[in-house]
Amino acid sequence: MSPVRGARERARIEVTAAIKDEARRALAAEGAAKLSLRAVARELGMVSSALYRYFPSRDELLTALIVDAYDSVGAAAEAADARTLAAGAAPRARWIAVCQAVRAWALEHPHEYALIYGSPVPGYTAPLDTIGPASRVGNALIGIARAAHEGRGIALPPLPAELRPEAVRMAGHFAEGLPPEVTAALVAAWAQLFGLVSFELFGQFTRIVEDRDAFFAHAADQLAHGVGLPAV
Amino acid sequence: MSPVRGARERARIEVTAAIKDEARRALAAEGAAKLSLRAVARELGMVSSALYRYFPSRDELLTALIVDAYDSVGAAAEAADARTLAAGAAPRARWIAVCQAVRAWALEHPHEYALIYGSPVPGYTAPLDTIGPASRVGNALIGIARAAHEGRGIALPPLPAELRPEAVRMAGHFAEGLPPEVTAALVAAWAQLFGLVSFELFGQFTRIVEDRDAFFAHAADQLAHGVGLPAV
DNA sequence: TGTACATCAGTGAACGCGCGTTCACTGATGTAC
DNA sequence: TGTACATCAGTGAACGCGCGTTCACTGATGTAC
């Protein structure tokens, strides 16, 4: 693990990165279902069998791209949160900043977004390695709600009786310390945030929403309201 | 256009339907990007070139499936709305019924759902024929909001100044008669509804939400609240 | 410091497979007189 | 009602193409003594 290793190790790191970069480019052209090792190799000037030195199969390459994408959007969300937090912002402003960061990342990386939040690739099942990275955006949102709860507190109407046990379970499972009604609202808002982004990216807003920045800013603010974050 | 035509015409209708049915089955196995005319033909015991008597290309077949899917979910939403309306339900109950109908349809037709609300098929651009069918669910929601507005009225907080012009435009464009703040909330709720359904269908709720019926029922109710539909 | 051996990236051929689309054709169904 | 012709569904071969993966190999880099 010394920082400088031999030419072999450095080359391996570089080539692995080059393969993933080229695969991301291929994703944009053809989509995940048609991602082709041969096309990637061809573009890199390698022979297709050489890729097997780096990824044991096409699916492993896909997994690497998925993990990278989750980490990328997760890091963008965390960075936006850290920035607003450092600027002394209230939870509501942090929430909006995270939503904006997710949307901005999605607009910059539409094909990686589709890879992780679009239809699943048929015949591919995500391995467990993706779970951690996949939860980073959600965890950022949970952290913001927790800050609001531990600060001024969050007041939300009580849950219907049918949902209470599930909400208690969810809170205990991944949102320790948050009241069940906040946890339930949070999970819904999390899914709804990606609904807004997906509709914009996947073309459902064509001829429907034109000023998308203004629309999204308001919608994100309303999501924060739904989670009970006090207005600024 | 007489109801009974020759054997030729009846056969054509039946074979066209059989091709679409088989294509829907193929969709489930391989996904839209890999939908293959040859595989469909093989399964039907036809030779692949015979399909060209029915669909001039693979993309035309895809378009037919997309239009059918939009019509299918749209009809399900409209039927649910008509049923609750006939039972004398208030707008809030109609709203929830439409949301439930969309979710139920999606759970029954996951691959058709992915076809229309998942990532776009790379290299395929939807023709104009899909616009009408694609707006049926949205129109059902607009109708419910209109009923509430013309009934007891809808009270929502004023919009931020940045969004007002866009909301006025949207209302005039496809929600004539609805106040701009209701229109904006409606479009957001529409996208958010599909965010909830997509997260459930595409696996994001794995290990997160377990009692999905209860969770969705509450989330749909909260969406109605966000649009200003009075509680029942 | 030099040498012998082990490791490993990349090659090129091959396996067996599937794809969309075109085209000239056969033979059954439909239509005009 | 019967006949001649037009329409059209379906065939089968072909074009030119791309795919994932395996395997024995070459030659450069790294390592142990």
CA A21 to chain centre: 19
The amino acid sitting at A230 is P
Worst-scoring range by mean pLDDT, A3-7, A104-108, B25-29, B32-36?
Answer: A3-7
Separation of alpha carbons B192 and A193, rounded Å: 7
3-state secondary structure labels for all residues of B124-152: CCCCHHHHHHHCHHHHHHHHHHHHHHHCC
Yes or no, beta carbons of A184 and B131 under 8 Å apart: no
DSSP A49: G
- Distance between CA atoms of residues A91 and A32, nearest Å: 36
Per the prediction, chain B carries an average pLDDT of 95
Alpha-carbon span B168 to B109, nearest angstrom: 36
Gap between the Cα atoms of A81 and A94, Å rounded: 6
**Residue matched to tokens 């290793």:** A5
For A111, residues 6+ apart whose C-beta sits below 8 A from its C-beta are A24, A27, A28, A31
- List the structure tokens of A104: 């901005």
Point out the least confidently predicted range of A5-9, A171-175, B1-5, B38-42.
B1-5
Q: Stated in angstroms, how far is B5 CA from C33 C1'?
A: 22
Q: Helices A136-150 and A91-108 sit at what angle, rounded to 10 degrees?
A: 170
Q: Name residues 9-68 of chain B within 8 A of A (Cβ).
A: 29-34
Q: Is the dihedral of CA A69, A71, A77, A82 positive or negative?
A: negative
Asked if the Cβ of residue A4 lies within 7 A of any atom of strand D, the reply is no
Whether residue B222 is predicted with pLDDT greater than 70 in this model: the reply is yes
d(CA A60, CA A76): 24
Cβ neighbours of A135 (radius 10 Å): 17
Specify whether the CB–CB gap between B187 and B141 falls below 8 A: no
Q: Tell me the three-class secondary structure of A153-181, residue by residue.
A: CCCCCCCCCCCHHHHHHHHHHHCCCCCHH
The arithmetic mean of pLDDT across residues B193-211, rounded, is 97
What residue ranges of chain A have pLDDT lower than 70? 1-5
- Section B15-24 average pLDDT: 97
Looking at residue A104, what is its pLDDT?
Answer: 98
Q: Which two tokens stand for residue B220?
A: 């749909």
Report the pLDDT value the prediction gives residue B125, as an integer from 0 to 100: 83
Number of Cβ within a 10 Å radius of residue B138:
20
As a whole number of angstroms, the distance between CA B63 and CA B60 comes to: 5
Q: Do B208 and A174 touch (CB under 8 A)?
A: yes
Give residue A124's pLDDT. Answer: 85
- Could you report how far apart the first and last alpha carbons of chain B are, in Å? 48
User: Within 3-32 of chain B, which residues have Cβ less than 7 Å from strand C?
Assistant: 6-9
pLDDT of res. B1: 37
Q: Which chain A residues have a beta carbon less than 8 Å from that of B207? A: 131
C1’ C24 / CA B177, Å: 61
In this predicted structure, what is the pLDDT of residue A218?
98
The pLDDT value given to residue B5: 66
CB contact under 8 A, A123 and B30: yes
Tell me what the mean pLDDT of segment B123-134 comes to.
90
Q: Which of A35, A119, A181 to mutate to test the interface with B (most CBs of B within 10 A)?
A: A119
Region B6-30: mean pLDDT is 92
A35 touches strand D (CB under 7 A): yes
Measured CA to CA, the distance from residue B96 to residue B88 in angstroms comes to 14
Token pair listed for A144: 């913001």
Residues A137 and A73 sit within 8 Å (Cβ to Cβ): yes
Residue of A nearest to B156 (CA): A222
Q: What is the pLDDT of residue A86?
A: 98
Q: What is the pLDDT of residues B173-198, one digit of tens each?
A: 999 999 999 999 999 999 999 999 99
Whole-number Å distance between alpha carbons of B29 and A151: 50
Dist CA B98 CA B154 (whole Å): 19
3-state secondary structure B34-70: HCCHHHHHHHHCCCHHHHHHCCCCHHHHHHHHHHHHH
Cα within 13 Å of Cα(B227), Cβ side: 29
The residue type of A208 is: I
Whether B2 shows a pLDDT value over 70: the answer reads: no
Distance A54 CA to D28 C1' (A): 18
Q: What residues of chain A lie within 8 A of the CB of B221, using their CB?
A: 160
Strand C contact at CB of residue A58, distance < 7 A = no
Of the pLDDT bands very low, low, confident and very high (cuts 50, 70, 90), residue B3 is very low
- How would DSSP label each residue in B73-130? HHHHHHHHHHHHHHTT--HHHHHHHHHHHHHHHHHHSHHHHHHHHSSPPTT----GGG
Q: Which among A98, A221, A204 has a CA at the least distance from the CA of B197? A: A204
pLDDT score at A5: 66
Asked if A166 and B211 count as a contact pair (C-beta separation under 8 A), the reply is yes
